[in-house]
Chains A and B, each alone.
Chain A
Amino acid sequence: MSAVRSTPPKAPELDIRKTYKLYIDGKFVRTESGRTYQVAGGRVNAPRGSRKDVRNAVAAARKAFDGWSGRTAYNRGQVIYRIAEMLDARRGEFVSLLGKGPAAEREVDQAVDSLVWYAGWCDKLHAVAGTVNPVAGPYFNFTFPEPTGVVGLIAPEEPALLGLVRHLAPALCGGNVIVALVSESQPLAGLVFGEALATSDVPAGVVNLVSGSHSELLAILAGHMDVNAIDVAACNDSEVKQVQLLAEANVKRIVRSDGTHSLEAITSLMEMKTVWHPIGH
């Protein structure tokens, strides 16, 4: 008779190290270039995205635009609220990526709050930002905001998560699709934010996250003819100048929002459309 083992042998605790990847078209991909750079004090290799990653991200965003902007505002609000739920569910991971402690906890809380705040605006902004205009003629004349299209976002270096989220949420709220360059020096929280997006009913391609050298990728994003607006949140004055020169070819909208919660943050990435509707004489 063979001996019956009462307890299985204990497996050694392996250090399972995570491979951080770009988030493009709803998939987690390694950079096309195969390059990485060291972050988190040299402990982690982050993907160093290339111009082709940006190109793929813009193509994915363009493909996703009609679907996302065509959803009802109410549904967009639900989806953005869901991102807040998923971010909150991964609270522990984000807090430890942001360096633990009360400051890190506060940053995650604020990011969740920011998403909830903008989720609420989705189905209200048209009523608040739109107008009915008195005109001297037999027309019913009204103005309402429409999404601009593909928005490029250069996220601030710090705060790594909150900086990304509070610039990304207003763009999403308005029905835009986004290609974001996450914080260059601290890209991990931004990249992991993709995992919250991937599990929260955000359609593939609506948000694309690329890490890497901002100075290398900025010109690609600013020059891309299929990018309609660019939020230069994290750029210094000479970079803004560079973006302005490159953005001229397709007249990109350039905004430099400060990240505070406001209706202006949403509408600055939207276009006001005015309709002249004839009425009876």
Chain B
Amino acid sequence: MAAVTSTPIEALLRQVPPVDQVAVEERAASLASRSIKKSSKLWALDLAIRVMDLTTLEGADTTGRVRSLCAKALRPAPGDPSIPHTAAVCVYPSMAAVARECVGDSGVHVASVVTAFPSGQSFLAVKVAEVKTAVAAGADEVDMVIARGAFLAGDYAKVYDEIVAVRKACGEAHLKVILETGELGSYDAVRRASHIAMAAGADFIKTSTGKVSPAATLPVSLVMMEAIRDWYQFTGRAVGFKPAGGIKTAKQAIAHLVLVNETLGADWLTPERYRIGASSLLNDILMQIAKQRSGVYSSAGYFTEA
């Protein structure tokens, strides 16, 4: 009888248990119903800005648009110095140099999406070259997409090898691995993909590109964060988490922060271990802060556009 051969990553995945779908959705829903008020809310809104990757990923992006985004990231509310800057700006690789020039050494990082974002359907050599070029252009964080085609075909080893290759090409840059959970089909697949990414050396795992719906739902975030927690317990290595896509309101952002606190703990409530990828969210948060301070509901007309 021929021996069944398997790669190390396949051996690892055999130890990953399936997800209890009903329990995950129930827990996410119950945590989302928590009410955060007054000073706690202001604290959470401030944190949500500090962990935000302010994003523009459009074919129509111009250098002017990226400069405007960077200005917004540096000073979200120009008239109010108490509002912190965001964690990073997230742009296409062709715009990484422009973003780097704008943010300088302000502490705002430059994240570039790479590896044939958003589909990931290209050659490994091209992807590796893209990563190196983006890092050379000034990106200190790279957001790669996994090869969903290979993942869904069951070729986990290829997915793993690609991440390892990109990890190597990153050098000093931080690597975030986008699973694109909306295309994976099940929570079990999300958990498997999370483990593949972490085993391959991801600094962060990220839910989505923002180009596919559903994106960063609460249950999918919970599944990924539980994978991070397991990984931390077994290996001692803390991997960060970044939900992205579909988080548009301050209320949603706070629900995500509650989920982090209850799953990974307060140690993860920092930009080093947690990010939120968003664009329109920032002004909604500023409006909520204005509401908390003034007592009256605010208007989008009083805030700068990114």
Contact = CB atoms under 8 A, between A and B. Distances in A.
A224 interface: yes
Q: Is the interface of B mostly helix, strand, loop or mixed?
A: loop
A55 B295 CA distance: 13
B295 A225 contact: no
Nearest to B296: A223
B297 A220 contact: yes
Contacts of A224: 296-297, 299
A226 B297 CA distance: 8
A252 to B, nearest CB: 11
B292 to A, nearest CB: 13
Interface string B280-306: 000000000000001111111110000
A223 B299 CA distance: 11
Contact of B298 (A220, A225, A246): A225
Contacts of B300: 62, 226
Contacts of A62: 299-300
Nearest to A54: B297
Contacts of A220: 296-297
A208 to B, nearest CB: 14
A55 B287 CA distance: 12
A211 to B, nearest CB: 19
A238 B295 CA distance: 21
Nearest to B302: A225
B295 A226 contact: no
A58 interface: yes
A246 B297 contact: no
Nearest to B299: A226
Interface residues on B, range: under 10
A250 interface: yes
Contacts of A225: 296-299, 301-302
B5 to A, nearest CB: 57
B296 A55 contact: no
Nearest to B295: A223
A249 interface: yes
A250 B297 contact: no
A223 B296 CA distance: 6
B300 to A, nearest CB: 7
A58 B295 CA distance: 16
Nearest to A250: B299
Interface in B251-306: 294-302
B296 A249 contact: yes
A58 B297 contact: yes
A220 B296 CA distance: 7
Interface-central residue, A62, A220, A226, A249, by most chain B CB under 10 Å: A226
Interface string A230-260: 0000000000000000100110000000000
A220 B294 CA distance: 12
A246 B297 CA distance: 12
B254 to A, nearest CB: 15
A225 B296 CA distance: 7
Nearest to B298: A225
A62 B301 CA distance: 11
Interface-central residue, B295, B298, B299, by most chain A CB under 10 Å: B299
B58 to A, nearest CB: 21
Nearest to A52: B297
Contacts of A55: 297
B273 to A, nearest CB: 33
A246 B294 CA distance: 12
A249 B302 CA distance: 12
A58 B298 CA distance: 11
Contacts of B301: 225-226
Contacts of B294: 249
B249 to A, nearest CB: 10
Contacts of B297: 55, 58, 220, 223-226
Interface in A48-71: 55, 58, 62
A227 B246 CA distance: 27
A224 B302 CA distance: 12
Contacts of A249: 294, 296
A250 B299 CA distance: 10
Interface string A209-223: 000000000001001
List the 3 closest pairs (A to B, CB-CB), nearest first: A226-B299, A223-B296, A225-B299
19 contacts: A58-B297, A62-B299, A62-B300, A220-B296, A220-B297, A223-B295, A223-B296, A223-B297, A224-B297, A225-B297, A225-B298, A225-B299, A225-B301, A226-B297, A226-B298, A226-B299, A226-B300, A226-B301, A246-B296
Interface of A: 55, 58, 62, 220, 223-226, 246, 249-250
Given A226-B297, A226-B300, 16 more contacts: A55-B297, A58-B297, A62-B299, A62-B300, A220-B297, A223-B296, A224-B296, A224-B299, A225-B301, A225-B302, A226-B298, A226-B301, A246-B296, A249-B294, A249-B296, A250-B299
